[in-house]
Amino acid sequence: MMTIDTIRNWESLEDKIGKDALIEFLHKHLDRFRDTKSAISKAIDYALSDDAGRGGYIISAHEDGILVGAVVMNNTGMQEFIPEYYLIYIAVDASQRGKGIGGKLLQKAFDTADGDIALHVEYDNPAKRLYERMGFTTKYAEMRWQRSK
């Protein structure tokens, strides 16, 4: 049986998953679209922060007690000119893909957010079709300038 939970604090995270286990899960199942474990850790810290202008939540999906999917949502603290929430990470266990878990996670994210949601997706990411089916549209092309190191 699948359960989908919203996690809003450190106690719940440790009770349901554990930060290190969540980092490992996301790092593994984001596949070629993954960030570093350090970046994933920072997004989790931001989501569960009590600091002004920060916050968000984590959504976890468990099948018979085993983590099969996760979402990290960050609250931007803004509205109107950028969405209130940013979907930082969504991942489904590679062995569980194609079973609708990603759609259920997204629907829970929609139901939990009290504002608009944005995400970044690479053009060749197969999940892009799911995002479009769930109602995401392309509004802008993101451009980045990076400081030389």
Residue type, 14: E
Sheet containing 56-63: give its strands across.
2-7, 56-63, 66-75, 85-92, 117-119
The structural domains of the chain, with segments of one domain joined by +, span 2-133
Cα–Cα distance measured from residue 68 to residue 75, given in angstroms and rounded to the nearest whole number:
24
Residue 111 contacts residue 134 (beta carbons within 8 Å): no
119-131 confidence digits (pLDDT tens): 999 888 989 999 9
Q: What is the mean pLDDT of the chain?
A: 94
pLDDT of the residue at 146 = 87
Cα–Cα distance measured from residue 139 to residue 75, given in angstroms and rounded to the nearest whole number:
19
Which pTM value belongs to this model?
Answer: 0.92
63-72 confidence digits (pLDDT tens): 999 999 999 9
Pick the CATH number of 2-133 from 3.40.710.10, 3.20.20.70, 3.90.1310.10, 3.40.630.30: 3.40.630.30
DSSP assignment of the chain equals -EEEEEE-SHHHHHHHT-HHHHHHHHHHHTGGG---HHHHHHHHHHHT--STT--EEEEEEEETTEEEEEEEEEE-S--SSS-SEEEEEEEE-GGGTTSSHHHHHHHHHHHH-SS-EEE---TT-THHHHHHHTT--------------
pLDDT of the residue at 10 = 97
